[in-house]
């Protein structure tokens, strides 16, 4: 686990297959990662956070309405620029401006409509061509110090590191000791400590040793639980802002923060 790769070469896997059933008011016709904050999908905000720190390779695990996520990125050039299109004869658009899109390399992977999180990761294993990879969910944002996360993970020599956060109480709490996760509980009745905020780093071998292609394989259940019991799961403590966009109320708050200029996750500068 000593091999180093520049952050620009590290694959960033983003779980984009969820249906967002508790976000119906905002996402009835959209997959959850395309629900907007300030006119841009939350997925874009997450990718901008990684991009700010030097990451540029993304693997999107698609599921529910994944075609709309593909279309969003495929149409970026025409959305940003002026162009003339001659309909007769099927000609290509003639672009009159050259506003740049992001310097991102994006792999769009169909991982199944109802596939669980662990199986989605297993199904993109052939795209994970570096010694380690990043992983996050398509609905949680925060100004996480990603280079520091990677540095801690590398120094720890563990197979996995997750980011622990302090949100309000509907998430699963973890039992930790030092910088190790001893027990991973999905949703306890009381909550006083850190919870899983996503923003993981895993060694590539984690996929082969702990994940299964069974469509019901949840990353957050047996795989992380077993990794923690084996002493292979570390925690990176993030003490600042973090929020998951799970409900209409969350979506409203995030948009209010963006519109008012109080968006702590905006670490990038346009």
Inside any domain, residue 35:
yes
What pLDDT, on the 0 to 100 scale, is given for residue 22? 63
Phi-psi region of 200 (alpha: psi -120 to 50; beta: other; left: phi over 0): beta
HSE-up of residue 90 (Cα within 13 Å, Cβ side): 0
CA distance 35 to 12: 20
Residue 145 lies in a domain: yes
CATH of the domain at 215: 3.90.550.10
Q: Is residue 267 part of a domain?
A: no
The dihedral region occupied by 183, where left means phi > 0, alpha psi between -120 and 50, and beta the remainder, is beta
Is residue 265 in some structural domain? no
> Which ranges of the chain have pLDDT less than 50?
1-2, 169, 189-191
For residue 2, is it within any domain?
Answer: no
Residue 137: which domain range?
Answer: 7-260
Number of structural domains in the chain: 1
Residue 268 maps to a domain: no
- Residue 194 is predicted with a pLDDT of 86
Give tens-digit pLDDT for 179-193.
Answer: 887 776 665 544 457
Q: What is the DSSP string of 75-119?
A: THHHHHS-EE--TTTTPPPEES--------EEEEEE--SS--HHH
CA-based nearest residue to 55, from 5, 116, 93 = 5
Asked if the structure places residue 114 within a domain, the reply is yes
Convert the pLDDT of each residue in 206-218 to its tens digit. 999 999 999 999 9
pLDDT for the residue numbered 19: 73
pLDDT number for residue 38: 96
Does 227 reside within a domain? yes
* pTM to 2 decimal places: 0.88
């Amino acid at each position: 686990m000593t091999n180093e790769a520049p952050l620009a070469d590290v694959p960033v896997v983003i779980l984009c297959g969820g249906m967002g059933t508790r976000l119906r008011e905002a996402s009835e016709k959209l997959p959850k990662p395309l629900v907007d904050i300030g006119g841009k999908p939350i997925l874009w905000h997450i990718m901008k956070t990684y991009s700010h720190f030097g990451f540029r390779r993304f693997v999107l695990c698609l599921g529910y309405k994944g075609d709309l996520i593909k279309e969003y990125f495929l149409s970026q050039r025409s959305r940003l620029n002026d162009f003339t299109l001659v309909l007769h004869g099927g000609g290509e658009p003639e672009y009159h401006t050259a506003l740049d899109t992001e310097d991102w390399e994006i792999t769009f992977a169909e991982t199944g409509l109802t596939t669980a999180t662990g199986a989605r990761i297993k199904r993109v294993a052939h795209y994970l061509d570096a010694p380690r990879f990043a992983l996050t969910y398509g609905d949680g944002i925060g100004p996480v110090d990603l280079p520091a996360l990677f540095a801690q993970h590398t120094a720890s020599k563990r197979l996995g590191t997750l980011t622990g956060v302090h949100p309000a109480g509907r998430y699963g709490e973890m039992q930790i000791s030092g910088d190790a996760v001893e027990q991973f509980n999905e949703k306890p009745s009381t909550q006083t400590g850190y919870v899983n905020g996503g923003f993981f780093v895993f060694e590539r071998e984690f996929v082969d040793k702990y994940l299964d292609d069974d469509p019901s394989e949840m990353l957050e259940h047996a795989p992380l639980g077993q990794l923690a019991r084996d002493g292979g799961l570390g925690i990176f403590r993030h003490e600042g802002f973090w929020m998951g966009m799970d409900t209409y109320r969350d979506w409203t708050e995030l948009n209010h923060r963006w519109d008012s200029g109080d968006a702590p996750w905006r670490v990038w500068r346009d």
